[in-house]
Amino acid sequence: MPFVGLTGGMGAGKSTALEALRALGAETLSSDAVVHELYEDGQLREAVVARFGAEVAPHGVVDRAAVARCAFASAEDRRWLEGVVWPLVGARVAGWLEQVRAQSPPPRAAVVEVPLLFEAGLDQAYDATIAVVADEAVRRERAAERGHALADERAARQLSQQEKARRATYVVCNDGTEEELERELSAVLDKLET
């Protein structure tokens, strides 16, 4: 069973691709969802409050935007946060993968969505990687639909989608319909299974 890392630029459609892969028979996990769960856990919440102050967790609930503002204020704070969060995410992914590998029959693949896959140097942990890319205008439109401006990826510490595509094992273009995306992803799963 292939272990696959899924990534892409902002607004490229990583979550849509992850859902399509699940529908195609892969087991899927969003590292972003794992981070959300970890912030609900007392240990991580207490660590960010101790580092950045109570304003990052008003009423005991972590405000991820506030944490990001604090963490990205300095390289030292960003490294500290990554040093705390990434090992916790890695442990969750490892436990999940162990459960997936125990399934009988096995799924077509185990796919983890990791926005900073290459930036964090995590790509070596996977058998293959998929980069989801989309036209810049499409990405801007998607970001606007979610109430966001398409941030400069360099400012967000993300590689350009072109660089992600260059590094990935497979590149899937997500400019069209969800059905077209699903067909492309199905073809990738077929290649992974051979």
Last residue of a domain, one of 106, 136, 158: 106
Same domain, 113 and 181: yes
Going by DSSP bridges, is the β-strand pair 3-8/170-173 parallel, antiparallel, or unpaired? Answer: unpaired
Give the residue with greater pLDDT, 152 vs 170. 170
Last residue of a domain, one of 60, 78, 106: 106
Per-residue three-class SS string for the chain: CCEEEEEECCCCCHHHHHHHHHHCCCEEEEHHHHHHHHHHCHHHHHHHHHHHCHHHCHHHCCCHHHHHHHHCCCHHHHHHHHHHHHHHHHHHHHHHHHHHHCCCCCCCCEEEECCCCCCCCCHHHCCEEEEEECCHHHHHHHHHHCCCCCCCCCCCCCCCHHHHHHHCCEEEECCCCHHHHHHHHHHHHHHHHC
Instruction: Look at the chain and report how many structural domains it folds into.
Output: 2
Same domain, 36 and 95: yes
What is the model's pLDDT at position 125? 93
What's the domain range around 159?
Answer: 1-26+109-194
Same domain, 88 and 22: no
Same domain, 116 and 48: no
Same domain, 126 and 147: yes
Q: What is the pLDDT of residues 18-33, one digit of tens each?
A: 999 999 999 999 999 9
Q: What is the CATH number of the domain that holds 158?
A: 3.40.50.300
What is the model's pLDDT at position 43? 87
Q: What is the pLDDT of residues 38-91, one digit of tens each?
A: 998 788 999 999 999 999 999 889 998 899 889 888 889 989 998 999 899 999
pTM of this structure: 0.88
Last residue of a domain, one of 106, 141, 163: 106
Are 165 and 130 a contacting pair, CB within 8 Å?
no
Q: What is the pLDDT of residues 106-162, one digit of tens each?
A: 999 999 999 889 988 889 999 999 999 998 888 877 777 766 555 544 445 678 889
Strand order in the sheet with 3-8: 27-30, 110-113, 3-8, 128-133, 170-173
